[in-house]
Homo-oligomer: A and B are copies of this chain.
């Protein structure tokens, strides 16, 4: 998605070789109109899949998931990272390991909102090591629902999450794939291919 690459190039900042700051439109400040375009693009790619539910993870996954939900006309469920006062019974849980924080976190969704008849699209803001995606996929499996695919806004293709998922025949659609952030320069997979 060219507009996203352009946005990352002009507003993103590689804080290190593997940390990308996109706080101006995705992770902290949100550009609603641009995120609407993101949702339209995910919907375009998955429109023939008869999706019945979108699952994401709070907080930065919510906006792209909801924007896709509007276009596909389906409900969105965001997995919680902490216990909620009103969400305690009938939980489907999964454990997500964070390499940056070096800790595992339990994430959960309510079994009220996903079941064996669902065809699920997982949406998230980033894909790096794939831990969050795997955690979400596990919950889809525990609910006996069918995973249709994974939509990612920005994939760090220099980490191995995307590769592992695709090797396991999971359909992964990343709207931008970064091949390198060495020396603060953001390079996309398509550009790498041209060299």
The answer to whether the Cβ of A168 comes within 8 Å of any Cβ in the partner chain is no
Kindly report which residue of chain B lies nearest to residue A88, judged by CB atoms: B15
Least CB distance from A177 to B in Å reads 19
Known contacts A30-B69, A58-B59, A62-B30; A112 and B23 CB within 8 A of each other: yes
Size class of A's contact patch? 35 or more
Please tell me if the beta carbons of B66 and A78 are within 8 angstroms of each other in the complex.
no
Please tell me if the beta carbons of B100 and A30 are within 8 angstroms of each other in the complex.
no
**Chain A positions 1-27 with a Cβ under 8 Å from a chain B Cβ:** 15, 19-24, 27
Please tell me if the beta carbons of B85 and A31 are within 8 angstroms of each other in the complex.
no
Q: How far is the CA of A142 from the CA of B31 in the complex (A)?
A: 23
Q: How far is the CA of A143 from the CA of B23 in the complex (A)?
A: 18
Which residues of B are found within 8 Å of A30, using beta-carbon distances? 62, 65-66, 69, 75-78
| Consensus secondary structure, chain A interface | mixed
3 A-B pairs with least C-beta separation: A32-B69, A58-B59, A21-B86
Residues on A facing B (Cβ under 8 Å): 15, 19-24, 27-33, 35-36, 58-59, 62-63, 65-67, 69-70, 73-78, 80, 84-87, 100, 109-110, 112-113
**26 interchain pairs (CB within 8 A)?**
A15-B86, A19-B86, A21-B86, A23-B87, A23-B113, A24-B113, A27-B84, A27-B86, A27-B87, A28-B80, A28-B86, A29-B76, A29-B110, A29-B112, A30-B69, A30-B78, A31-B75, A32-B69, A32-B70, A32-B75, A33-B70, A58-B58, A59-B59, A59-B62, A59-B80, A63-B63
